[in-house]
Amino acid sequence: MRMRSVVSLYALMLSLRTTLVRSEGGINLGGGIVTRKNVQFYADLSLDIRDLKEGKQNTKNALRLYKTGANAELESGVTFSLQELNQELSGGSLMTPQYLYHVYGLSGSMESNSSDFQANRSYADKFVRSIISSKLALAPEALQALTLWMYGTHLLLQGVDVCFRRSVADDPDAIQGFVGGGMDEFIALWVGNNQISGEINGHSLYSWTEKAAQSFKSTQQQISEEALPNLNLKLLYQQGAGILTLQNACTSKNPESVKQLWTVVQQMISQMFVPQLQMLIHALLSEDTNLVRIYATAVVPQIAQCRPSVFKRLKNQLLGERIDFARTPELLKDLESMYSCLGLSCKDVGTYRLGGSSCSSTTVGGGNYLAGYYSRSPVESLARIDLDILQIKILTSLNQFRFARYLYQFGRNVPFHRSSENDLYNLRSLHELAVTTERQKADPIYSYFVAYFNDIRYADTSVDNALRGIGKWESREERSEVIITTCAFQIVFLYTLARLKESVVQCRENPQEDWELATTPNPWDEVAALLIGSMEGPNEGGSMNHIDGQLFWSLANRRAFQFNTLNNQGYANANDELDDLLYAGRGELDAQDCDNLEQTANKIRHVMVVPIVQSTIRYAIMGQGVSWSRSKSSDRHTELALGEIFAFSILPIFAAVDSESAVIIRENMELKDNIQPIRSGPQLVADALGSAAVQWGLECHKLGRSSNADPCQLQKISEGATASASSSASSWGNSSLIVPFLTAFVSGTVFTIVILLL
């Protein structure tokens, strides 16, 4: 099914009201929604919210109702309570991503067994019980925003998990899961019991969303009596339920159904964020401290999955001891800058009716600037590939590899470009970048990698093995670091090289292309998106907080501090050069100067290896003297794993131009049982890397030097020896003998040169 315009979506909803019939065992929720299975008890949870709203409730009764339940019966006489939802989220066998991002955001810990993480696992239960005890009138709102909302995401994602496990099982029917595949359960929870379409007087998430929408006017004018998030969620429910009713859905005979379901679920979760954001904005502009506490607790921890620096600011301002409403305009701008990460735009959230909210972006991404580079074509979506990597990093660091695998395989943050809303909505994934035949456009480098690893899917194989716990990476820390580093500096690296080559090909094959009027992504702009990413922000030089970013730009800035390669503005020389080259290439495209464009693309290839070489040296220094053994967990160190992955990110290239240096690099950086890594020392590794980089065509001084290793040491000695020999030859009058003799030693070891000079 294709996502349609709002007008056609509403027309479809009207037809659904008259054409849908009740399926056996299903329930009619009204408004055109009839579930396929009987999930009444989820809808009945809204009646517990209703009872909490009644003035008769006192604190004692309210706590009892919260803990034991009254209206939702799993079976006759057996009630299901709101507290049990919170307990399942925090103590169940399967913790889903939105919950994990939330606890991570509250705790700031990337270890699921840390004391901070454990202390925050029951955040919703603690918050709700506190509200019931101190501000009972706000308890229903807290339960909707924190408990029901989060449990809704849990139902959807658990449904995907069941679908995936069925798709890889020999006997799918043996996999136990939701009777409604997560879809029926979710829509019953969302709409609730006895809800009238478009009404705010109900007690469910549906009526809560209608209430939130009242304070906002959307640039997509509502054409129904329902808030747009409710309308969209009902339509997406129909789409998801339709996928589950396809023949052989969620089996090996129809594996695509898993990705289709995952894609629908991601869109649904995005729509679920709209009322949360609207309520928080309303609370801020109304200067209602109590409501800000509720909705900041519901929203801000979710920003941890988006941009670390912005998350920290929002957390300090909104979850601290005091809320400074004088800073509301700044807080709103920070919130608005995170919409694209949540899959939204300003038009989705709308403008606050009473003023004070000036969000004006109409496209997901909120602009075309990437660290100062202006992209004229729509590549904001592709730039968000760094969000996939960040979110995989959070999940794997918390030892939650199952959903990290789904995120890697199916994607989340990078929808394919659509010319209109009638185009199919589909997600691009890191897995697809790792296996696409487009990589072949990066030849000869593509062939170097395939031949070196003897595996056409070399990076995908490495990530998949680490996600599943197969191979030599066994500890949580190693697996996590291997996954995210391989994604950023092998998968994205090679795909970027392919887009560079494609830019030159298109320049030569489409001489009449008007790049100024591009309505589809331009491969040159895609190169910028893949190198910089979304988290660097729009300003020149990128984010000044180096915790932002997961791609080349961020890595170059981090390494520039360690290798003395910062420019006067405080960011990496490599990024400064990259920015100049990106603009130069754009000008060459405009002028159809394809020969110079090819040279510019080649210079970018050289710049791209700088932070990777520096990283290999850095981890060689950190790993010196450290032992590694697959059989001993105490001998496992992430710096050694990172050293190997960074080395393998450039070894296939260096092996093609300097095989002797490549052998030295591999012998020292590849981890093998009972063999001491980096046994020749980090300086010899740096020597080999510097030599190979120069053979690759890189000016060695661009690598810089650390206090512990200098990749250009041999070159400096060689240049010094040549200069000295030239001077001596001139004074001795015998240069015809000395210069060739010295030249023969330029590629030799430092010790040979020293002996010669003596």
CA nearest to 21, candidates 39, 36, 41 = 36
**60-64, 107-111, 278-282, 447-451: the lowest-pLDDT one:** 107-111
- Characterize 70-83 residue by residue with b for buried, 16 or more Cβ atoms within 10 angstroms of its Cβ, and e for exposed: bbbeeeeeebbbbb
In tens, the pLDDT along 602-623 reads: 999 999 999 999 999 999 999 9
Q: What is the pLDDT of residue 429?
A: 98
DSSP string, 27-88: -EEETTEE-SS--HHHHHHHHHHHHHHSTT--HHHHHHHHHH-SS-EEETTEE--HHHHHHH
- Characterize 181-193 residue by residue with b for buried, 16 or more Cβ atoms within 10 angstroms of its Cβ, and e for exposed: bbbbbbbbbbbbb
Higher per-residue confidence, 196 vs 101: 101
First vs last Cα of the chain: how many Å apart?
A: 78
Higher per-residue confidence, 113 vs 572: 572
Q: What is the pLDDT of residue 292?
A: 97
Q: What is the pLDDT of residue 634?
A: 56
* Percent helix, strand and coil across the chain, each to the nearest 5: 65, 5, 35
In tens, the pLDDT along 120-139 reads: 999 999 999 999 999 999 99
Q: What is the CA radius of gyration of the chain?
A: 29
Residue 754 has pLDDT above 70, yes or no: no
CA distance 318 to 460: 40
Amino acid at 154: H
Tokens of 403: 């959903």
**Mean pLDDT, residues 285-291 taken together:** 95
DSSP string, 656-678: HH-HHHHHHHHHHHS-BTTB-TT
Amino acid at 455: D
**pLDDT band at 257, cuts 50/70/90?**
very high
CA nearest to 707, candidates 727, 682, 739 = 682
Cβ atoms 166, 315 nearer than 8 A: no
CA distance 319 to 304: 13
- Characterize 315-341 residue by residue with b for buried, 16 or more Cβ atoms within 10 angstroms of its Cβ, and e for exposed: bebbbeeebeeeebeebbebbbbbbbb
DSSP helix/strand/coil, 720 = helix
CA nearest to 276, candidates 189, 358, 335, 322 = 335
In tens, the pLDDT along 418-453 reads: 877 778 899 999 999 999 999 999 999 999 999 999
Higher per-residue confidence, 36 vs 176: 36
**Mean pLDDT, residues 304-321 taken together:** 94
**pLDDT band at 734, cuts 50/70/90?**
very low
Beta bridge partners of 73: 79
**Mean pLDDT, residues 5-15 taken together:** 35
Cβ atoms 271, 229 nearer than 8 A: yes
CA distance 274 to 272: 6
DSSP helix/strand/coil, 651 = helix
What is the average pLDDT score of the chain? 87
Q: What is the pLDDT of residue 493?
A: 98
In tens, the pLDDT along 469-504 reads: 999 998 999 999 999 999 999 999 999 999 999 999
In tens, the pLDDT along 53-93 reads: 886 678 999 999 999 999 998 877 788 899 999 999 998 78
CA distance 570 to 530: 22
* Sign of the torsion formed by the C-alpha atoms of 703, 705, 709 and 713: positive
Tokens of 164: 């995936």
In tens, the pLDDT along 315-365 reads: 999 998 899 999 999 999 999 999 999 999 988 999 887 765 556 543 433
Cβ atoms 455, 658 nearer than 8 A: no
**Mean pLDDT, residues 144-173 taken together:** 95
What are the φ and ψ backbone dihedral angles of 33, each rounded to 5 degrees?
-105, 115
The pTM (predicted TM-score) of the whole model is 0.90
State percent of the chain over pLDDT 90: 73
How many angstroms separate the Cα of 525 from the Cα of each of 381, 403, 489, 580, 586? 12, 31, 19, 14, 8
**pLDDT band at 415, cuts 50/70/90?**
very high
Q: What is the pLDDT of residue 340?
A: 94
Q: What is the pLDDT of residue 512?
A: 64
CA nearest to 524, candidates 456, 462, 592 = 592
Q: How many residues are recorded in the chain?
A: 758
**pLDDT band at 30, cuts 50/70/90?**
confident
Q: What is the pLDDT of residue 631?
A: 65
Burial of residue 667, with CB atoms counted within 10 A of its CB: 0-12 exposed, 13-18 middle, 19 or more buried: middle
CA nearest to 565, candidates 704, 699, 701 = 704
